[in-house]
Amino acid sequence: MLAVLSPGQGAQKPGFLTPWLDLPGAEARLRWWSALAGVDLVHLGTAADADEIKDTARTQPLLVAAALLAAAHLPMHDVAVTAGHSVGELGAAALAGVVSAETAIALAGVRGREMAAACALEPTAMAAVLGGDADEVLAALDTHGLAPANRNGAGQIVAAGSLDGLDKLAAEPPTKARVVRLKVAGAFHTLYMAPAEATLGAVAAGIVPADPQRILLSNLDGTAVGHGREVVRRLVRQVTSPVRWDLCMRALADLGVTGIIELPPAGTLAGLIKRELKESGVPELVTLNTPKDLPAARDLIARHGTAHGATHAHPPAARLRVVVAPAAGAFAPAEGLVEGEPLRTGQVIGHITTGQGPVQVTAHDSGLLTEWFAHHDDPVAPGQPLARIGGQH
């Protein structure tokens, strides 16, 4: 089974898109996307310096554009899983077929501008806490009024909040941990970003999404999201919610992913995966940074992709109108819920027992429960169909 990953803010490097503009149509596509994003993506990806491309308003659409530009040269129909880190989720959603590339770019432009504006309202920042016991680190953050904005696994938790709180954390780091201040504009993925979430939500309300055509993992909790409206809701909510990349990596392992391609600017997510999954087995990795890496990426897809029997990828929910498993574990239907009964949108129809605790399974639409695909204590994988919803009642 093969996964394609889209990186988030901080992975960018000056000039990293330069070699991609030699490909036919690449520059024209970037200029079209620039009009949608409200920034000059050609300049940012080729001539801009490090200071210019760390501006949140510019960086976010640039990263989404880079991922989608490179993915256009891959046989994505053979990819079973997509996921993205932070703003990379917009790219992953486009690759999963939930939104168009143009919609993802436009949303990234709004997201970047609004998060930059939110950062300007009050001085805040972020710092990486490397090492230490995770529970002790989280307790220390709470003591200083900070939030765990990113839980990246591999012994890395990113703290976000007030400058005073971060200074106190650095002065009194948790046992066996070190604190490294990050060069970012403010406290992303915290309640400081609430104004940005509100504006992005207002814009996203006009989107008509499709259901994912491949397994799409969510930063919110590492689960597979089977329905387009829920994907968009989570993309908006993620502006103020922590990035649980640690849970996304566990989901990749639970799914049995054997090959991973990280889209440009690649390397950050591959490094986390190598450290986090070293005991359970690191999938074969390709970091796609220039067109010269495309043959290796295509070869990985040829050996691990769906067209070659390397996956048990499940049919898209859009075709079957099914409720799918959000996580791996043992499924238990809601007590007394039988085939033929009416369901309402948001109704809990069961839960999945995972290593991190129970995960609720809810109906994404109203209708009749026409068929169970999974039964009590059945082992299930993320994206696996659990129940079919029939016509409206």
Model confidence pLDDT, tens digit, residues 215-273: 999 999 888 888 899 999 999 999 999 999 999 998 898 888 999 999 999 999 999 99
12: in domain: yes
Q: What is the pLDDT of residue 312?
A: 39
pLDDT digits 0-9 by tens, 347-366: 999 999 988 789 999 987 78
Q: Based on the fold, state whether residues 199 and 262 are members of the same structural domain.
A: yes
Q: pLDDT tens for residues 324-339?
A: 888 889 999 999 999 9
Q: Is the pLDDT of residue 15 over 70?
A: yes
pLDDT for position 190: 97
376 annotated active-site: no
Q: Classify residue 379 by its DSSP letter.
A: E
What's the confidence (pLDDT) of residue 321? 61
The domain that contains 132 carries what CATH number? 3.30.70.250
pLDDT of residue 391: 65
Range of the domain at 377: 317-389
298 and 348 share one domain = no
Nearest CA-CA partner of 8 in 70, 58, 64: 64
Mean pLDDT across the stretch 180-189? 92
- Preceding omega of 265 cis (within 30 degrees of 0): yes
Do residues 125 and 152 share a domain? yes
Output the CA torsion 290→152→228→233 (10° steps). -130
Cα 80 to Cα 255: distance, rounded to the nearest angstrom: 10
CA distance 216 to 93: 7
pLDDT over threshold 50, residue 200: yes
Q: Tell me how many domains the chain contains.
A: 3
Residue 186 lies in a domain: no
Residue that terminates a domain, selected from 282, 308, 334: 308
Give the model confidence (pLDDT) of 125-150 as tens digits: 999 999 999 999 999 999 999 999 99
Q: What is the tens place of the pLDDT at every residue in 41-89?
A: 999 999 999 999 999 999 999 999 999 999 999 999 999 999 999 999 9
The percent of residues in the chain predicted with pLDDT above 90, rounded, is 78
Of the pLDDT bands very low, low, confident and very high (cuts 50, 70, 90), residue 97 is very high
Tell me the percentage of the chain whose pLDDT exceeds 70: 95
pLDDT of res. 333: 95
pLDDT for the residue numbered 255: 85
Give 353's strand partners: 330, 358
How does the average pLDDT of the chain come out, rounded? 92
Residues 291 and 258 in one domain: yes
- Asked if residue 379 and residue 293 are part of one domain, the reply reads no
Any alpha helices (H) in 134-265, and if so which ranges? 134-143, 163-171, 194-204, 228-237, 245-255
Separation of first and last alpha carbons in the chain? 38
Phi, psi dihedrals of residue 375, rounded to the nearest 5°: -130, 180
- 199, 255: one domain: yes
348 in the same domain as 384? yes
Which CATH number is 252's domain given?
3.40.366.10
Q: What is the dihedral of CA 226, 232, 237, 243, to 10 degrees?
A: 60
Please report whether residue 359 resides in a domain: yes
Q: Any idea which residue has 């040269």 for tokens?
A: 73
- Is residue 268 located within the same domain as residue 279? yes
Q: Is the pLDDT of residue 171 over 80?
A: yes
Active-site choice (189, 227, 304, 364): 189
What are the tens digits of pLDDT across the range 154-167?
A: 899 999 999 999 99
Backbone angles phi and psi of 77, in degrees to 5: -65, -15
pLDDT at 392: 52
Cβ atoms of 80 and 3 closer than 8 Å: yes
What's the average model confidence in pLDDT over 289-318?
74
Active-site entry in 6, 86, 218, 241:
86
User: Where among 161, 181, 201 does a domain terminate?
Assistant: 181
Instruction: Report whether pLDDT(186) > 90.
Output: yes
Domain check: are 254 and 361 in the same one? no
- pLDDT score of 299 more than 60: yes
Please give the Cα distance from 197 to 115 (Å, whole number). Answer: 8
36 and 143, same domain (yes or no):
no
Task: Specify the pLDDT at position 315.
Answer: 39
pLDDT > 90? residue 100 = yes
Looking at the structure, do residues 139 and 108 belong to the same domain, yes or no? no
The reply to whether 280 belongs to the active site is: no
Residue 72 lies in a domain: yes
In a domain, 98, yes or no: yes
Largest CA-CA distance found in the chain, in angstroms, rounded: 63
Both 212 and 264 in a single domain? yes
Domain boundary among 130, 153, 181: 181
When pLDDT is averaged across residues 201-221 and rounded to a whole number, the result is 93
